[in-house]
Every structure is written in structure tokens, then in C-alpha cells.
């Protein structure tokens, strides 16, 4: 059965792949599972029909027969559980890969979300200019530990896994800040993720949607 | 085989159950799995021996034979996968419960972490007094959606699951702010979690450690 995901009708980033549907598209591309996309507007996302699918009024959602899921991490994990290619077969290695999925969303992403908040939501506040360096230093503290763990390995724990898919996706949000460039091994790690054919297909698919809505950008 | 977890030798909250080992203890108590605890100091957490277990120098970790895991969410998921009692048997219901686990750590917890940062890390900054209401309003926006979804149900999706365990644990961090009291159904939801015998055993076990280190309070 072909699953259907939701994505922004018009992504806030204009198609740079930072919207979370890219993570789900990437997972589906890695395992070779075709999928359908239903685009939703910001208005529709806050209406009861969408809130029934996603209690927090966001994208992506994932529908497959009677199953409806929300939260990128759980959707990627669900896809990884149904198909080969995103999690190791060995039970212990699988559990470790899932640790990296949670590390991406619960340890590395929160300080990055603070930067997004500072830059966008609080951009007009009098304290933002002075506060931004503190926010960025907190990100550096976390990312430095990740860099130390990765070392010169290609991926976080053996072969590419859903843990890498989630971590690369989270780190991509840092590129505009310049912080990623301060850690050459992480920069190369992210580039390795972006170079995967499945990532490219996912990125291109979301770009087509958004480029058509942003003819000038 | 008895797993060993790590916990703070001296928890920053003095034993209120907010340190993340409580989540893992709670999961282990729900499934009736005995466990050992190794206490670590703040200094030891930043040393190579602990960083080998937890790349971000935090607690808890989980060791079971040759398996070493970090990240509370993945440890709880691992425990839930090995034992009955924390995830439904039906595959779809199981996937939905895991969605709530990720929602707890990736959608509800990040704005709450911003409040912790504002209150503790930035407590001495000139902007904090004016900024706090904005941080709190962002939490309210999220928590209001959670409250709407929960409605008058006991748990988020049918019977109590690892999704509720994680969500209650995240919401507990809000109690001191007063925000939880603004949503009576969430307040009752958290109280239902705290009333579970397994939660009480987990809370008491971490309190014993910390009370002995904080004789005055």
C-alpha cells in the first residue's frame, strides 16, 4: 500500500530541504518505498481535519491504510522497521542506531531550535543581538561533543542508519549559522548525507513543490 | 541479566524526580525488571570513561551485557521492546505510542528546555525578566494543543504506554512554572502518572540517593 505523507504547500525555507517532510521523504527513498504527498497550507494545518492527524498542527504526517502517524522521528522509525536499509539487523546495533535518532531530536536539535527562535521569532527584540552569541555557544558545546564522537568515521555507528539520517537532517539546520563550518568532520559528515542518491531525490522532490511557489527565490 | 543505569551522584533538582534517570527507572519498574544503579559525579560525567558510554556527558546510560545505550527515549523504547507492559501488542497502536514518545521529546520538551535555560543559565541577564513571558507563552501554545488532544481521556492513546511515560515526565518539568495548573486535564494526567506504583517506586529510589546528599532540603 502506498503511504501518503503531508508537506507544506509553501515551505517557510522556500525549498532548502529544512522542512521536516524532507526527513521522511529521505527515509522512504532510502528503502525504495514509493509515496504520495498531500500538500497543506498554513491555514489548513490549524483546522480540525489536520489536527486529527497531527495534534500539534504541523507536518509531516504519515498515513498507510488505517494507520496515521505524526512526528518525524517515529515515522522514520516506522519506515525503518518495515523495510531493510535503515537499521542494522543485529538487535544491539539496532538499539544503538535508535539512540542516535533520539540524540538527534532530543539532545542536538533543541539548542538549534533556540537559534531558530532567536533569529526568527525574537528577531525584533532589543536583546537578540547580545543574546545570539550565547545561543550559538550552547550549540557549539553540544556539536563539539558530537564531533569528538564521530572522529574520522563516515557514520556515527558503523554503516549509515536512520540515526545518521536524523542527525544529518538536524545538522543541516546549522549550515546558515556558519557553526557547521567550524567542525570540518561534521561538515564532511553532512556532505556525505547530502551526497546519497536517496537524499538528492528527497531534496529535489520537495524543491519542485516549493520552487513552483517561489518563482523569484 | 540485570541492567545497570547511571544517575547523578547529586541531582541538580535535589531529588524532585526531574533528572532523566527517573524516566528509565520508571520504565524498568513498570515492567518489573530489577536494575543496578551506578552514581556519577559531574566531574566524572565529562571524563573519557563516561563519554565512551554517553557522547554528550550526561545521564542516564544503560548497560546490559555488551549493549551500551544512551538517550532516555531510546532506553525506554528498548525496555518497552524487551518486556510487556509499555507498548501495545497491535503493530499500529505500537507505532502510535512511539509517536507520542517522540512528540514528548521533540515537540513538547524543547520549549520547556528554553524555560530551563532562561530561568537558570540566563537568570542574571538583563533581558530575562522581559523575555520570560514570551518563553512561557510558547510553552502554552504547545501544551494547549496537547490538552485539546487529551480531552477527558486518561491516557493519550488507549491504555497507558511508554508514550504517556515520556509525556508525563516532560510535563512534570512544568509544574514549578504554574503552567500545568492552567490546564486541569493535563494536571490530572500528570497526577495519574505520578500515582502509578511503578512511578512512586522510581521516584522514591532516586530520592533516597539525593536526599542523603541534601540533608537540609
Q: At A111, which CATH number?
A: 1.20.1050.10
Same domain, B183 and B203: no
Same domain, A170 and A146: yes
Residues of B in contact with A113 (CB under 8 A): 110
- Secondary structure percentages of chain B, helix, strand, coil, to 5: 60, 10, 30
Which residues, other chains included, contact B110 with Cβ-Cβ below 8 Å and sequence gap of 6+?
A109, A110, A113
Q: Which long-range contacts (C-beta less than 8 Å, at least 24 apart) are formed by A207-212?
A: A207/A15, A207/A17, A209/A7, A209/A8, A209/A9, A209/A11, A209/A15, A209/A37, A209/A39, A210/A8, A210/A10, A210/A11, A210/A13, A210/A14, A210/A15, A211/A15
Map residue B9 onto helix, strand or coil.
Answer: coil
Q: What digits encode the pLDDT tens for the residues A6-18?
A: 999 999 999 999 9
A88: left (phi over 0), alpha (psi -120 to 50) or beta: beta
Instruction: Classify residue B14: in a domain, yes or no.
Output: yes
**Chain position carrying cell 551526497:** A195
Residue B211's pLDDT is what? 83
C-alpha distance from B154 to closest chain A C-alpha (Å): 17
Residues of B in contact with A148 (CB under 8 A): 51, 55
Q: Provide the whole-model pTM.
A: 0.96
Would you state the cell numbers that stand for residue A73, as one nine-digit string? Answer: 522521528
C-alpha distance from A201 to closest chain B C-alpha (Å): 26
Q: B92-107: b or e for each residue (b if 16 or more CB lie within 10 Å)?
A: ebbbbbbbbbbbbbbb
Same domain, A32 and A108: no
Decide if A107 and B56 are in contact by the 8 Å CB cutoff. yes
Which residues, other chains included, contact A19 with Cβ-Cβ below 8 Å and sequence gap of 6+?
A7, A8, A11, A12, A13, A59, A206
Same domain, B100 and B180: yes
Same domain, B183 and B105: yes
Decide if B125 and A127 are in contact by the 8 Å CB cutoff. yes
Distance CA B182, CA B159 (A): 25
Q: How many CA atoms lie within 13 A of A51 on its CB side?
A: 13
Instruction: Classify residue B47: in a domain, yes or no.
Output: yes
- Give the mean pLDDT of chain A: 95
CATH assignment of the domain containing A206: 3.40.30.10
The beta-carbon neighbor of B95 closest among A51, A78, A98 is A78
Same domain, A34 and A60: yes
**Chain position carrying cell 543574546:** A131
- Secondary structure percentages of chain A, helix, strand, coil, to 5: 60, 10, 30
Q: What digits encode the pLDDT tens for the residues B101-159?
A: 999 999 999 999 999 999 999 999 999 999 999 999 999 999 999 999 999 999 999 99
Residue % of chain A over a pLDDT of 70? 97
Instruction: Classify residue A216: in a domain, yes or no.
Output: no
Instruction: Classify residue A217: in a domain, yes or no.
Output: no
Q: What digits encode the pLDDT tens for the residues A121-136?
A: 999 999 999 999 999 9
Instruction: Classify residue A180: in a domain, yes or no.
Output: yes
Residue B216 CB-density burial (10 A; 0-12 exposed, 13-18 middle, 19+ buried):
exposed
Same domain, B162 and B105: yes
Decide if B71 and A99 are in contact by the 8 Å CB cutoff. yes
Q: Is A1's pLDDT higher than 70? A: yes
Distance CA A209, CA A186 (A): 29
The beta-carbon neighbor of A57 closest among B57, B72, B145 is B145
Cβ atoms of B26 and B57 within 8 Å: the answer is no
Check whether the bond before B60 is cis (ω within 30° of 0). Answer: yes
The beta-carbon neighbor of A74 closest among B55, B102, B134 is B102
Same domain, A111 and A174: yes
**Chain position carrying cell 522512504:** A28
Smallest CA–CA distance from B142 into chain A, residue:
A56
Residue A62's pLDDT is what? 98
Best residue of A55, A118, A136 to probe chain B, by most B CBs closer than 10 Å: A55
Same domain, A96 and A189: yes
Instruction: Classify residue B217: in a domain, yes or no.
Output: no
Would you state the cell numbers that stand for residue B2, as one nine-digit string? Answer: 540485570
Same domain, B204 and B127: no
Q: Is B216's pLDDT higher than 60? A: no
Decide if B106 and A107 are in contact by the 8 Å CB cutoff. no
Same domain, A191 and A177: yes
Instruction: Classify residue B146: in a domain, yes or no.
Output: yes
Instruction: Classify residue B150: in a domain, yes or no.
Output: yes
Smallest CA–CA distance from B170 into chain A, residue:
A106
The residue range of the domain holding B146 is 91-196
Number of domains forming the structure of chain B: 2
Q: What digits encode the pLDDT tens for the residues A143-199?
A: 999 999 999 999 999 999 999 999 999 999 999 999 999 999 999 999 999 999 999
Q: What digits encode the pLDDT tens for the residues B7-21?
A: 999 999 999 999 999
Decide if A109 and B105 are in contact by the 8 Å CB cutoff. no
Q: Is B215's pLDDT higher than 60? A: no
Q: What digits encode the pLDDT tens for the residues B45-85?
A: 999 999 999 999 999 999 999 999 999 999 999 999 999 99
Same domain, A95 and A188: yes
Q: What is the DSSP string of A142-186?
A: HHHHHHHHHTT-SSSSSS--HHHHHHHHHHHTTGGGTTGGG-HHH
Q: Which helix (H) or strand (E) holds A5?
A: strand A4-8
Amino acid at each position: 500500500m502506498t503511504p501518503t505523507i503531508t508537506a507544506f504547500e509553501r515551505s517557510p525555507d522556500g525549498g532548502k530541504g529544512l522542512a521536516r517532510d524532507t526527513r521522511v521523504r529521505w527515509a522512504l527513498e532510502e528503502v525504495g518505498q514509493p509515496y504520495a504527498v498531500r500538500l497543506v497550507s498554513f491555514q489548513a494545518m490549524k483546522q480540525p481535519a489536520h489536527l486529527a492527524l497531527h495534534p500539534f498542527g504541523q507536518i509531516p504526517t504519515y498515513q498507510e491504510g488505517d494507520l496515521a502517524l505524526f512526528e518525524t522521528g517515529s515515522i522514520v522509525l516506522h519506515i525503518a522497521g518495515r523495510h531493510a536499509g535503515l537499521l542494522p539487523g543485529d538487535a544491539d546495533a539496532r538499539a544503538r542506531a535508535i539512540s542516535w535518532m533520539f540524540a538527534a531530536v532530543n539532545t542536538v536539535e533543541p539548542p538549534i531550535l533556540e537559534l531558530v527562535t532567536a533569529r526568527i521569532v525574537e528577531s525584533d527584540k532589543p536583546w537578540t543581538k547580545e543574546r545570539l552569541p550565547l545561543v550559538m555557544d550552547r550549540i557549539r558545546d553540544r556539536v563539539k561533543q558530537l564531533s569528538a564522537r564521530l572522529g574520522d568515521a563516515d557514520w556515527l555507528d558503523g554503516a549509515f542508519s536512520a540515526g545518521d539520517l536524523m542527525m544529518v537532517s538536524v545538522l543541516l539546520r546549522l549550515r546558515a549559522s556558519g557553526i557547521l563550518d567550524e567542525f570540518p568532520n561534521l561538515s564532511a559528515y553532512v556532505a556525505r548525507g547530502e551526497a546519497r542518491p536517496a537524499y538528492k531525490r528527497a531534496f529535489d522532490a520537495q524543491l519542485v513543490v516549493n520552487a513552483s511557489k517561489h518563482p523569484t527565490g
